[in-house]
Amino acid sequence: MASIRYFGHAAFELRFTGLDGREKRVLIDPWLGNPLSPVSPEDYAKSIDKLDYIVVTHDHGDHLGDTEYIAKKTGARVIAIYDLAVELGKKGVKTVDGNIGGRIKVDDVYIVFTPALHSSSHGVPVGVVIGGREYRVYHAGDTGLFTEMQFIHELYNPDIALLPIGGHYTMGVDEAVKAVELLRPKIAIPMHYNTFPPIKADPEEFKKKVEEKTSTKVVILKPGEEMSYP
Ligand code: ZN
């Protein structure tokens, strides 16, 4: 049984069976120091027996977050866009670099970087499709809406989409509803809202609009909550 745990903002932990048949634990955008997070980076690193990968969508502080600390504590490899991976490598972090285009050749997980309409200082921002035997999850990163989300559905067919709804820096509720129409996941989980005043949003409004318009189910995870899948 695979699972997804939310730590608030854009931070998630995925657990699933890898393509090699072994259990994988992956963190995405691990800013565990965020104001909503139920666990500190220190306590998180202490609480787990192993971490396989950390995926970072871009280098803004609220996404890069506690990557360096957790990577060094756990020995996890960080998968990031080439330019950011180079920077992290200089700090002694183990990395896998990749770029937007096709599957990244990591044997034990399925991973593809996708475009994101946003900014960053090192390389371009990305979204990611990642998973193993039970599911593929699309984490949109920080992004505005773009029509190629339709290709993410057609090419990678993610079961679960993690979508920003906070507006101001990313899609707001109405753009994220449109994203669901293009991505057609089984489940959508809202993220990147209510961490700071400018990104205040109502996840119930997102849920209502998505479920009126599409057959996708919206699961609202509170920080600290975990969802099993399937
Ligand atoms: Zn950002």
Which CATH number is 134's domain given?
Answer: 3.60.15.10
Output the CA 117–ligand 1 centroid distance in Å. 10
- Domain extent, residue 178, equals 2-221
Cα 142 to middle of ligand 1, angstroms: 5
Candidates 26, 32, 31, 29; CA nearest to 13 is 26
On whether residue 13 sits in a domain, the answer given is yes
Instruction: Determine if the pTM surpasses 0.95.
Output: yes
In three-state secondary structure terms, 96 is strand
Distance 195 CA to ligand 1 centre (A): 13
Residue by residue, pLDDT tens for the chain (230 residues) are: 899 999 999 999 999 999 999 999 999 999 999 999 999 999 999 999 999 999 999 999 999 999 999 999 999 999 999 999 999 999 999 999 999 999 999 999 999 999 999 999 999 999 999 999 999 999 999 999 999 999 999 999 999 999 999 999 999 999 999 999 999 999 999 999 999 999 999 999 999 999 999 999 999 999 999 999 99
Q: What tokens appear for 1 in the block?
A: 């049984």
Give the phi and the psi of residue 139 in degrees, each rounded to 5: -100, 115
Decide if 226 is inside a domain.
no
Q: Cis check for the bond before 30: say yes or no (omega within 30 of 0).
A: no
C-alpha 190 – ligand 1 centre gap (Å): 16
Distance 186 CA to ligand 1 centre (A): 26
In a domain, 179, yes or no: yes
62 found inside a domain: yes
Residue 96 lies in a domain: yes
Count of the separate structural domains present in the chain: 1
Looking at the domain assignment, is residue 228 inside a domain?
no
Give distance in angstroms: CA of 194 to centre of ligand 1.
15
| Domain contains 173 | yes
How far does the centroid of ligand 1 lie from the alpha carbon of residue 58, in Å? Answer: 7
